[in-house]
Amino acid sequence: MPATAPLDLVQRPAAAGLLLHPLRRRLLEALREPNSAVGLARRMRLPRQQLNYHLRTLEQEGLVELVEERPRRGCTERVLRASARAYVVAPQALGGLAADPAQLQDRFSADFQAALAARVLRELATLRERAAAAGKKLPTFTLDAEVRLASAAALRAFTEELAGAVATVVARHHDERTPAGRRFRLFLGSHPVLKKPSEAKP
């Protein structure tokens, strides 16, 4: 059986709703390693019948998958595992409530950055699904970095220089002529690093 997926971008509203249920979330965390309803009941100290109901619901939505079936005391024991090690809810799950960057104009606002990040998730979820159906690898590139700046003026200078550098590279490589060319979306944003509670100033 293939290894568990490292990440699942959940698009269906019903599946997203299941992730918000405390007990079902605990079950998914426990099922990072394969287990049966009997084993989970023993580990979580909950009735097996109750867990069976929730496990069936999770399996119907594709959040839990069957690993094997094995005989146990005159019946068949089903061993299950979570479909992924971690989950991200894609904006599709929110329907018409999903953020749309086209409705926001201030590119220096946190709202606009959040809406762009949501669009990245939305498009990635669909592209991953299509690539998997075609048996292809999705070509992506991600750069993650931190920079320490001395002042607000330094931040403005850094932002302007970075934007100019990106525009130069895009202009150098952009090709409208080649028939087999493919468009890529470039997303670049910055925000203050989130400090750990122990580092935060009182």
Domain around 152: 90-173
CA distance 67 to 34: 7
Tell me what the mean pLDDT of segment 155-177 comes to: 97
How far, CA to CA in Å, does 155 sit from each of 148, 159, 189?
Answer: 9, 6, 13
Tell me what the mean pLDDT of segment 27-44 comes to: 96
How far, CA to CA in Å, does 104 sit from each of 17, 34, 130, 189, 190?
Answer: 27, 45, 29, 15, 17
Q: Which residues pair with 36 in a beta bridge?
A: 79
Confidence band, pLDDT 50/70/90 cuts, at residue 200: low
Mean pLDDT, the chain, rounded, equals 93
The reply to whether 95 and 80 lie within a common domain is no
pLDDT computed for residue 53 by the predictor = 96
The reply to whether 108 and 121 lie within a common domain is yes
Per-residue pLDDT reduced to its tens digit, 128-144: 999 999 999 999 999 99
Buried-exposed string 67-103: b where 16+ CB fall within 10 A, e elsewhere: beeeeeeeeeebbbbbbbeebebbbbbeeeeebebee
| Residues 6 or more apart in contact with residue 8 via CB below 8 angstroms | 63, 83, 84, 86, 87, 88
The reply to whether 83 and 94 lie within a common domain is no
Does 197 map to a domain? Answer: no
Tell me what the mean pLDDT of segment 65-74 comes to: 88
Per-residue pLDDT reduced to its tens digit, 45-59: 999 999 999 999 999
Look up residue 61 and give its amino acid: E
Number of independent structural domains in the chain: 2
- Domain harbouring 26, CATH code: 1.10.10.10
* pLDDT at 180 > cutoff 70: yes
* pLDDT at 65 > cutoff 70: yes
Is the pTM value of this prediction over 0.95?
no
Tell me what the mean pLDDT of segment 110-139 comes to: 95
Tell me what the mean pLDDT of segment 150-170 comes to: 97
Task: Count CA atoms within 13 Å of residue 59 on its CB side.
Answer: 16
Does 17 map to a domain? Answer: yes
* pLDDT at 9 > cutoff 90: yes
The reply to whether 73 and 112 lie within a common domain is no
Burial (0-12, 13-18, 19+ Cβ within 10 Å), 155: middle
The reply to whether 35 and 81 lie within a common domain is yes
The reply to whether 100 and 73 lie within a common domain is no
| Residues 6 or more apart in contact with residue 131 via CB below 8 angstroms | 137, 138
The reply to whether 27 and 83 lie within a common domain is yes
CA distance 163 to 157: 10
Tell me what the mean pLDDT of segment 50-69 comes to: 96
Q: Among 54, 87, 120, which residue terminates a domain?
A: 87
The reply to whether 154 and 95 lie within a common domain is yes
pLDDT computed for residue 201 by the predictor = 60
Tell me what the mean pLDDT of segment 160-183 comes to: 96
The reply to whether 77 and 28 lie within a common domain is yes
Does 183 map to a domain? Answer: no
Tell me what the mean pLDDT of segment 172-201 comes to: 89
For 65-70, the CB contacts below 8 A with 24+ separation are 67/1, 67/34, 68/34
